[in-house]
A and B are shown apart, each in its own frame.
Chain A
C-alpha cells in the first residue's frame, strides 16, 4: 500500500526533529551527563504527590468536567491573581489541559486556518511551527537577535505583519535562550499588536523561573491586552510535574467557549489524579517554587560563568533553565559541535539549530541537573575545547 497517498500532506511536510539521531547516540552510551533535557531534575514535591495518591485511594478515578475540576480552575484563577496580578473568571475563562502543549494546539487550531499567518519568534520551542502547519496556516518566522537579548522588538514584529496575520506566539521566558520580555518591551510590542488588531498566544510555562529578583510580567497585564491574549501555562516546570501532563489556558470567554469544544472532542478532560495533585500544588506550593528557583539560579551563575571562562560567549539568561552559548568561535556547526561532544566526552547538549535555523551557531545547555554533574560536564567541555583547538 502506498501510504504517502493516504497520509495528510501537511503531516508529511512536517520535518521530524533533527536531533532524534543524536539522542539515539546518547542512549547507547555509558557515563553520559545529560544537559539536554527540558525538564526539572527535581521530583514533584512530596505533599503534591501525596494529594494525587490520596485522590486515588478515595476512588477519584472518573472523568472530571471538561474544563477541569471546579476547585482547580478556582485555584488557577487565585494563583494568577496572586502571582501575576491578573483576574480570570474560573467558570468562564479557564480550561485545564493535558500539559501546556495541548493548550497551544487547541488555541492555534481555534484561531487560525487556511490562508492565515502566525508569527513565531525564533529560536523557540519546537512545537509552534508544526502545529501551525497542521492547522493549515502559514508560519512566519522572526529571528530574535542576541544584541537585543533575544527579545522581540516592535520593528521586527511590524515587519512580519501582513494583512493575513492573525496570531503572534510570544514564548517568554524563552526556551532555549533564557530571554525574558520586560514591561517596557511588552508595552512596545503591545502598541503594534493593538494597531494591527491581532491576537497573542503567550506561552508562560517558565513564568516562575526568572532570576535577579525580576518577576515575570504577562503581556495580558499590559493595558488593553487581556482581551487579545491567550495565556498558556502549566505545572510541569514550576512544580516539577512534567510526567503528570497538566497545563491550562486563560483567555477571554468568547475564545474559551470555542476552545472548550475542541478540547472536549479530542481530550475529554485532563487526567483526574493530576488535577487533584495540582490543587495541592497551587494551595501550598509557593515555597517549593522558590526553593527550586534559588537552586536553578546558583547553577545558572556557575554555568554561565564557566562558559565565559572557557571563552565561549554566553548570553546571560534571565529565565527558564537553559543557557545558550555561542560556539561559532570553534569553527564547528552547532550540530557537529554537539555530535563530537557526545562522542568524545559523553556530554549531551542540544544544537541551537533544533530551535529554528537562526539558532545555528549556538547550543542549548540545560542546567536542570545537579551542581555536581554540571561541574563534571563543564570540566569535560573544557577538555573538549582544548582538544578541538589543538586539532585532535
Chain B
C-alpha cells in the first residue's frame, strides 16, 4: 500500500516535515504528492475522529438495511444518489447480500431517525423495505479504538 496515504489515513495530523522524516523523502516532494492526491480526488478530506460519547450529546446513529428495485438503465446508482443527498445520511454503501444498500443515519433522537426512515426514505420509489438497527455503543471507528476501558497499556517489562 502507498505508505504516505497509509500514514495520513491513520493520522492526518502529521506535518509535512514529519512525513518527510518518516518516509525519508524531501519535504517538497511530500507537499507535491499530497497536493496531487488532493487534486486527483484521492485524498477527499481531513477530519477529526470524535468520540461523541464523551460529550453529553444525545446523538443517535443507526445502520439501515435498504432493499431496493434496481432501475433498468442506471441500476442502483440513481437511487443511491437520491438517498445520499439527505444530510442525515452519513454513509451509503452498495453491498452484496440479503439487502442492497447499507446506510449510516444520524439524528438527535431515536424519533428523528425513525421519522426520517418513515417519512423520507421509505416513500422513495423503488425502495422495497428498510430495516433500522440502532447503534448502542461505538467500540472502534475508522481504525481508532473508541472504548477507552479496553485500551491496552504497554505491558512490556523492563528487560534489556
Instruction: State the A residues within 8 Å of B (CB).
Output: 17, 19, 23, 26-27, 34, 36-39, 41, 125-126, 294, 298-299, 301-302, 305-306, 348, 350, 354, 369, 371-372, 375
Contacts and interface: CB of A to CB of B under 8 A. Distances in A.
B137 interface: no
A210 B23 CA distance: 16
B40 interface: no
Interface in B141-160: 154, 156-160
19 contacts: A23-B158, A36-B158, A37-B156, A41-B154, A41-B156, A298-B3, A298-B7, A298-B23, A301-B21, A301-B23, A301-B24, A302-B18, A302-B21, A306-B21, A348-B158, A354-B160, A369-B154, A371-B7, A372-B11
B155 to A, nearest CB: 10
B49 interface: no
Give the size category of B's interface with A.
Answer: 10 to 19
A30 to B, nearest CB: 11
Nearest to B10: A371
A16 B23 CA distance: 40
Interface of B: 3, 7, 11, 18, 21-24, 154, 156-160
Given A298-B3, A372-B11, A125 B21 contact: no
Contacts of B11: 371-372
Contacts, number: 47
A350 B159 CA distance: 11
Contacts of B18: 302, 375
Nearest to A364: B160
Contacts of B156: 34, 37, 39, 41
A26 B158 contact: yes
A371 B22 contact: yes
Contacts of A350: 160
Contacts of B159: 37-39
Given A39-B159, A125-B160, A350-B160, A298 B22 contact: yes
A252 B9 CA distance: 50
A34 to B, nearest CB: 6
Contact of B158 (A27, A126, A306, A372): A27
B20 to A, nearest CB: 8
Contact of B22 (A26, A39, A302): A302
Most buried by A among B7, B154, B156: B156
Closest 3 CB pairs of A and B: A305-B21, A23-B158, A302-B22
Contacts of A299: 22
Contacts of A38: 159-160
A297 B107 CA distance: 44
Given A26-B158, A39-B159, A298-B22, 14 more contacts: A19-B160, A34-B154, A34-B158, A36-B158, A37-B157, A294-B3, A299-B22, A301-B21, A301-B24, A302-B18, A306-B21, A350-B160, A372-B11, A375-B18
